Each structure stands twice: as C-alpha cells, then as structure tokens.
Structure 1
Amino acid sequence: MNKNEVFVIGLMSGTSLDGIDLVYVKFLQNDYKKFEILKSETIGYSNEWKVILQNAIHFSTKELESLDISYGRFLGEVLNHFIDKNQIKNIDFIASHGHTILHQPEKGITLQIGSGKEITAITNKKVVCDFRTQDVKLGGQGAPLVPIGDQLLFSDYDYCLNLGGFSNISYEKDGVRIAYDICPVNIVLNHYVNKLGFDYDDGGKIASKGKINQELLIKLNALEYYQLTPPKSLGLEWVQQNIFPLIESLETDVSSILRTFVEHIALQLSSVIKSDSILITGGGAFNVFLINRLEEVVGVKFLLINKELIDFKEALIFAFLGLLKVDNQVNCLRSVTGAIKDHSSGEIFMPK
C-alpha cells in the first residue's frame, strides 16, 4: 500500500453469540495508534442463526462445509447492508474473524466459519480472513490473536483485559508480550440466564441476589486448566465438558449459579491483575456487579473508557490484523500462541 490512510471494515462474532460486531476504521500507515473508528454497529442474530451456531459443534464435516458457505453469504449480506446504510465509499479491504465452531489446538483443530470466497463474491471487496489456522499448523494455540493489537495500539496500559465469552488478558513481561485466556465469562453467565428468558444478566442484578455455593466455587477454582502455564486457550468444548456438568451436579438455582460464577471469575482475574492501569473491554465490562467484585478483590478502582471501544475493540483489532497481513507484517506472536515462530497469518481473497 502506498497511501498513508487505509480504510478497513472489521467484523467479529464472539462465542457468547451477542451478535456480529462491525467497525469501519481509518488507520494511518505511519502511526497505527492514530486510528479512528468512523462507524460501528452490532447486528444481532436471529433465533434461527443462534440455534444453528450453538449446535454446529455437533455437525458432520459435510454439514460444516455447507455452513461455512451459507454463513459466509450471510456475512456478505450483513456487510453490504452496513456499507449501504452508512454510505461507505472508500474500502481498501474487509477483515473477518468469522465465528469459531471448533477450537482444539492440542489436536491441531480450529475452525472459524464464514467463507472468505463467499464474502468476496457478495461484497465485491478484498477480504482477509481465517487468521487462526496457520498458527495452529505452526504448533500454536491459534489464540489469542488480539495481543499484537494490544502491543501496537494500546501499549499505554499495563494490562488489556477483554471480558467476552471468555476473559483473556495481554501484558508485557520482561519485554515479551504474554497473553492467554483466563476463564469463561459470558459463555457461562448467558447460558444460565437464558433459562430465565433473558439474553444476559443486565448489570449483574440477578447474580447479585444469589448466594455463593462454596463447594461449587472451590471445585471451579480447582480445575486443571487454571494450573497450566501460558500459552493456553479455551473453547466451548472445554466449557461443555468441564463447567456445565460440574455446576449442574452441585447447584440448580440460577441466581446462585450466577453469583458463584461471578465470584469465580473475580478470583481468577485477580490472580493475574496487579495494577489499575488496565483497558477493560467486551460485554462483561457492563456487568456492574462483576466489575465491582473484581475491584473489591483486587483492591483497586478501574476507569472504564468510552463505550464504543468497550464494544468494538476486538472488531477493530481484527481490522488491524488484516492490515498487518496485507502489508505482510507479523500479526501472530509466538510468545502468545506458542507457535514455532512469529508470522503473518490469514488468507486473502480478491474480487474477480
């Protein structure tokens, strides 16, 4: 790219199925930190898509191949609507994370659906996608991918913490970027509050009325994953195998499940966070009860930044990962994923 300004649409679908986050962002080639989010929006999933994506983990290979195509077409249509609605004229490329269906890096498996070929065909734009596969092939976890953005865009903070389907953290240690998934967050909280007919626990109000189940809390904190050293990452499969059966064997009251799990999250996060210089993003940042408990356990007060960055930081960083890939710069750090080398990951699809 020869020009200094680059215009990108980034999109992200998280494991908590809150919806598709889209950002239209301008980057300056000579100073990445001077980015500007020009437009942003979250497109909620229909009930039909939620059911499909929740159950896709059980699909056959043939069904997943078909879903990859149909979901890619769906993303293309969502993008076209976003572009038309906001009258966006200048787009250098689209960077899509897609939606994670399978993530078992220890078996060499990771799958993010949303065919780049289909997105390109429908939008007639260059598309960068499939950011995780190459890293897994190089022996890495394929996650987390956001830390390179934390390092280059948000280095003013000691910690970058995202509270989405899972909590993940990124920070510098001895001059090296360290990052990993800490514990599940909304993927568990939303699962149980859905049983009460709500999409999420607004502000953590339901959790705040529950009681801590001490036996459950002790067993959650004793799970083997928490003893592992980074690099490490979590997926829906791990939650289904380890978290849900444990909770359901010891507690049936939803408010108490939520209260106990909020305490679990706060304790796990507090084992890592040692400073108030922290950028907190993701839907969990709006869970007032969770944030208050975290502040109490850590013993500091956190300053939450503007809502747009809380909501759209991951979509922004996937736009940035696309920019690094297009420029053939490193966008995957071995210190974070455990791959055999730093590398530039992603597939590029060009319109015909």
Structure 2
Amino acid sequence: MPETAAERYVGLMSGTSLDGIDGVIVEFDGDRFAALVGQLHHPYPAPLRRRLLEISIDQPAIMLREFTALDVAIGQAFADAAVALLDHCRVDPSTIKAIGSHGQTMFHDGAAGQTLQMGDASRIVAATGIATVADFRRLDVALGGQGAPLVPAFHHALFSHATEARCALNLGGIANITVLPAGGNDAVIGFDTGPANGLMDEWTQRCTGQPYDEGGVFAARGIPDEALLAALLADPYFALPAPKSTGRDYFRLGWALQRYPALLQLKPEDVQASLAQLTVRSIVTAVRAAQTETARLIVCGGGARNVHLLEQLAEALPEVAIDTSAACGLAPDVIEATAFAWLAMRRLRGLPGNLPSVTGARRAVPLGSVLLGA
C-alpha cells in the first residue's frame, strides 16, 4: 500500500431499527475525519430480520443452538456487507487499514451493566482479510459505564467546533442527544432520550403492514391524544438523570399498551400521531433541560427522513435552528457507521473512544477488540 497522509477505514453499523447494515469507507487524516469515500446499505435477509426483531423486542428464551446460529448469520451478513461495499466502491481491500464493526445489539441494560452485540467478527476477517475491530461496548460497561451511547464522542469530534451551543440528535430506533457547548469544550454529555423510530415502526407495521411510516405521512393524518401522551410521558425513565441508556425491549408496543390499555380504542392514525409527539416532547424536554442556550439541533439517523417529525420538532423548538447533518458535510444515514470506523481508528492508535461524561465509565479508554487480518 503506498504511503499517504490519510488512512482508509470501513465502518459497519446496524442500529435498533434492524433494517440492515450501513457500510461506509472513510478517510482519516491523523485522528480527524477527512472524507467519505463511499457508502452502501445492505439489507438483512427478510427471515433473519423478522427473527432479530422478535428477539430484540420480545426477549424470548432461545436455545443455545439458535443463539450460536444467529451469531454466525449476523456475522456473515456483516461480512457480506463489507464485501459488497468494497466491490460497489471499487476499492482494493489492501488499501483499508481496518474495519470497525458494531454488530447487532440484541439486548442492552446499561444500568444493570449488561449489553450484547451479536455478529461473529471473524466472519468479516475471513471474507475480507482485513483487520477488524468489534465488541466496542463491554469495556466501558466493565468500567462502570452504560456502554451507550457511544456516538456522542464522534459527534463531539465532528460538530463541536463552533461558537454556538449545539445538540446533535440521533433518530434511530431509540433517540439520543449529544450536548455540545459553545466553543468546542469538553463538557459534553449525551444520553438516550427515549423512543424514536422503533415504537412508531411497530405500530405502523401492525396497522398498515408497512415496515415504517415513510415521511411521517401516517402520523400526519392523526391528532395526538393527550391522555395517551400523559400516560406514556409519566414513565420514570424520562425523569432519570444522565447517564442513561435504553433499548427497544423497553420502549415497545407492549409497554405503551401496559401504560394505556385504552390505546387500541383510538384511531390508528391518532396513535401514530401520539407516538410521534412522544418522541418530540421527550427530545424537547431533554434538550431544554440539558442546555438552555442550544442554538442549533443537528439531526442524523434514519429518522432524519421523517418530514413530519422534523416539522413537529421545529414547531416545538422555535428558538432553535434545525438542520440535518448534511448541512455539516456528512449525510444523516452515514453518521453512525462513520462513528464506528472512527472508533476503530482510535482503537488502533491507542486513543480513547468513550466519553465518561456521557457513559459514566470511571475513565476514558480505547474501545473494541482487535482481530488481525488473515
């Protein structure tokens, strides 16, 4: 490989929406993001996605044989995603320094010190020959942290160097914010605010048979039900102080039905409108409580395509300018995959990947286990 100032990394990420694997090839100049070389979304095979959704949401008991088979299947899907990405971008694998693979979160309870990301990273090494960094969360958890969210460290590196106070908002299956004070100082906090796409997707699938509410059209047809909203917002999670993290196994449709059994008597579009408002109000409360002087909200994640949701956020935060991360030079749907390429780069350089002010860990450390190329 010829000597160049920049090094290339691959980032692979599948979030709590479980729609598939986002892959990116990026360049870093030193430890700073330099360029996006290419990207590709690799959907999960439909039967695998259905089973992963069932397990991550319902948390059933499964046999050890199925557990190991799923680990292999997820790992192979990530390996296939890496190969397809390299082929799509016509990039020689020998030019890639390493791959950062988040794997698929199947269970997360940060407060209890338990987190599980599946996907045998050895499959990626076998398919590509490229050194792979995986298992990013458990060292932070072992050090007393929540193990999540991890992307705020990358948000800080990418977005914080501004004179205005900002928040980065990730709209995945779960919503999380990164609070970025003016001037790029290190007083960064970040936490999961509550449900986002995951809960809305569940209701959309149940009512329409579609996997998600494209553009928020379904929600836009309805009127939020204030009694339902009050019952959901009374959940103790929303009042917990940071650091905190959560998952789809908590904020699921069963949770909403338990808190408000009359939900099924409402019009389906009114329920969807209420779930969208739940996301909006929990985010707005968190932003205002964490940083009253926030001037700009930078939105990333798949939910950045939900036009209705962004309109509702703008209406609820009239004093805040709201942009997607594209306005800062990186598209919303590649932020998380790029973050795990960045974390892999920092692991190989021996640089910290976590922010103890975000996760609650006792100290900052490089994150991830390294599998050498073969």
- For the criterion TM > 0.5, the same-fold answer is yes
Work out whether residues 75 and 123 of structure 2, in 8 Å CA contact, stay in contact via their aligned partners in 1. Answer: yes
Supply the AA of the counterpart residue of 2:177.
I
Offset, 1:235: 1.1
Question: Using a 3 Å threshold, how does the CA distance of structure 1 residues 16 and 247 change in structure 2: closer, same or farther?
Answer: farther
Question: Using a 3 Å threshold, how does the CA distance of structure 1 residues 138 and 241 change in structure 2: closer, same or farther?
Answer: farther
Offset, 1:248: 6.4
* Other-structure match for 1:66: 69
Work out whether residues 78 and 119 of structure 2, in 8 Å CA contact, stay in contact via their aligned partners in 1. Answer: yes
* Other-structure match for 1:292: 311
Offset, 1:224: 0.2
SS in structure 1 of the partner of residue 342 of structure 2: helix
For residues 316 and 190 of structure 1, the distance between their equivalents in structure 2, rounded to whole angstroms, comes to 24
For residues 120 and 201 of structure 1, the distance between their equivalents in structure 2, rounded to whole angstroms, comes to 36
Supply the AA of the counterpart residue of 2:270.
S
Q: What is the TM-score of this pair, normalised by structure 1?
A: 0.93
Q: Tell me the percent identity.
A: 30
CA offset digits 1:82-139 (Å, max 9, x no partner): 2123211121111111110011223322111111122111211100011001111111
Offset, 1:3: 5.5
* Other-structure match for 1:197: 209
Higher alpha-carbon deviation: 182-191 or 263-272: 263-272
Higher alpha-carbon deviation: 134-143 or 65-74: 65-74
* Other-structure match for 2:178: 170
Supply the AA of the counterpart residue of 2:152.
P
Work out whether residues 247 and 257 of structure 1, in 8 Å CA contact, stay in contact via their aligned partners in 2. Answer: no
Correspondence 1:303 to 2:323:
yes
For residues 199 and 358 of structure 2, the distance between their equivalents in structure 1, rounded to whole angstroms, comes to 25
Q: How does 1:151-300 map to 2 (within 5 A)?
A: 151-156=156-161, 158-172=166-180, 175-195=186-206, 196-240=208-252, 243-246=255-258, 249-252=261-264, 253-273=267-287, 274=292, 275-300=294-319
Work out whether residues 215 and 306 of structure 2, in 8 Å CA contact, stay in contact via their aligned partners in 1. Answer: yes
**Which segments of 5 or more consecutive residues in structure 1 lack a partner in the other structure?**
none
For residues 123 and 245 of structure 1, the distance between their equivalents in structure 2, rounded to whole angstroms, comes to 45
CA offset digits 1:113-167 (Å, max 9, x no partner): 1111221112111000110011111111100000111111221361111111111
Supply the AA of the counterpart residue of 1:295.
A
* Other-structure match for 2:139: 134
Work out whether residues 213 and 251 of structure 1, in 8 Å CA contact, stay in contact via their aligned partners in 2. Answer: no
* Other-structure match for 2:6: 5
* Other-structure match for 1:83: 86
Supply the AA of the counterpart residue of 1:11.
L
For residues 80 and 346 of structure 2, the distance between their equivalents in structure 1, rounded to whole angstroms, comes to 25
Work out whether residues 218 and 272 of structure 2, in 8 Å CA contact, stay in contact via their aligned partners in 1. Answer: yes
Work out whether residues 12 and 23 of structure 2, in 8 Å CA contact, stay in contact via their aligned partners in 1. Answer: yes
SS in structure 2 of the partner of residue 92 of structure 1: strand
Supply the AA of the counterpart residue of 1:178.
I
Offset, 1:327: 0.5
Question: Using a 3 Å threshold, how does the CA distance of structure 1 residues 330 and 3 change in structure 2: closer, same or farther?
Answer: farther
| Count of residues paired in the alignment | 349
Higher alpha-carbon deviation: 169-178 or 129-138: 169-178
CA RMSD of aligned residues (A): 2.0
For residues 337 and 269 of structure 1, the distance between their equivalents in structure 2, rounded to whole angstroms, comes to 18
Work out whether residues 17 and 172 of structure 2, in 8 Å CA contact, stay in contact via their aligned partners in 1. Answer: yes
For residue 329 of structure 1, the aligned residue among 318, 334, 351 is 351
Supply the AA of the counterpart residue of 1:48.
P
Supply the AA of the counterpart residue of 1:125.
I
Offset, 1:261: 1.1
Correspondence 1:110 to 2:110:
no
For residues 245 and 261 of structure 1, the distance between their equivalents in structure 2, rounded to whole angstroms, comes to 12
Work out whether residues 325 and 346 of structure 1, in 8 Å CA contact, stay in contact via their aligned partners in 2. Answer: yes
Question: Using a 3 Å threshold, how does the CA distance of structure 1 residues 240 and 262 change in structure 2: closer, same or farther?
Answer: closer
Question: Using a 3 Å threshold, how does the CA distance of structure 1 residues 211 and 278 change in structure 2: closer, same or farther?
Answer: closer
SS in structure 1 of the partner of residue 286 of structure 2: coil
**Which segments of 5 or more consecutive residues in structure 2 lack a partner in the other structure?**
none
